[in-house]
């Protein structure tokens, strides 16, 4: 069975109240969503919180999913809105409290090991919109059309963001201290 159609079938069953389908969706999609948040944020704890908040929101709005439509764009659109809400709330809170918490510790890569930390460090200098597109295209394996739907943009805009991100990554990987071999699969 096609993995995408399998997700659509699970989502349809989840809408009908099938607890096993909801559990299967959570187990299959949480790693993708968690990576989406980890790459975007400096804090794994925040990523964990946003993942949980995303699943709560999905549960609340599961009736809005249209059967037969791809699940990933719908899901990533929700996750993206959760992340934007998080940034807005953090900005308001920070402004109210008059503190600057975005000091050196925010720039430090999150603790972790291996490829995830390397990927986070590699993508960190990219603008948020470009990191998001790379995450959806290359890590989640979404199509250009699905990314466009999830980000409420056009396919052309997604292509442009991806192209600019690839250029920046190529420049960075050809610089001192990084090998060109680690760029495999980014173009």
What structural domains and CATH numbers belong to the chain?
3-183 (1.10.1740.10)
Predicted confidence at residue 100, as pLDDT, reads 45
Specify the pLDDT at position 106. Answer: 40
**Is the pTM here over 0.75, yes or no?**
no
Residue 5 reports pLDDT greater than 60: yes
Length of the chain: 187
- Quote the pLDDT of residue 115: 60
Return d(Cα 36, Cα 34) in angstroms, integer.
5
Q: Which two tokens stand for residue 160?
A: 């442009």
pLDDT category, 10, cuts 50, 70, 90?
A: very high
Q: How far is CA 91 from CA 56, 97, 148, in A?
A: 23, 10, 26
* Residue 44 burial (CB count, 10 A): 16
Residue 118 pLDDT level (bands cut at 50, 70, 90): confident
| Residue range 14-53, pLDDT digits in tens | 999 999 999 999 999 999 999 888 887 767 888 999 999 9
Q: Confirm if 36 and 140 have CB atoms less than 8 A apart.
A: yes
Q: What is the pLDDT of residues 74-88, one digit of tens each?
A: 999 999 989 888 877
The per-residue pLDDT for 183 is 46
| Residues 62 and 14: beta-carbon distance below 8 Å | yes
Percentage of the chain modeled with pLDDT above 90: 39
């Amino acid at each position: 069975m096609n993995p995408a159609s399998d997700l659509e079938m699970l989502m349809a069953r989840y809408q009908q109240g099938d607890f096993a389908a909801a559990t299967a969706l959570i187990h299959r999609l949480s790693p993708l969503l968690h990576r989406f948040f980890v790459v975007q944020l400096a804090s794994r704890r925040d990523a964990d919180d946003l993942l949980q908040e995303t699943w709560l929101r999905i549960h609340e709005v599961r009736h809005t999913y249209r059967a037969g439509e791809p699940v990933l764009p719908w899901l990533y659109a929700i996750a993206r809105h959760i992340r934007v809400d998080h940034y807005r709330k953090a900005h308001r809170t920070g402004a109210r409290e008059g503190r600057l918490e975005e000091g050196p510790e925010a720039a430090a890569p999150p603790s972790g090991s291996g490829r995830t930390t390397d990927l986070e460090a590699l993508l960190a200098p990219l603008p948020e919109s470009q990191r998001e597109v790379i995450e959806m295209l290359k890590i989640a394996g979404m199509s250009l059309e699905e990314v466009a739907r999830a980000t409420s943009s056009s396919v052309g805009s997604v292509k442009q963001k991806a192209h600019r991100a690839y250029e920046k990554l190529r420049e960075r990987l050809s610089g001192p201290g990084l090998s060109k071999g680690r760029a495999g699969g980014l173009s």
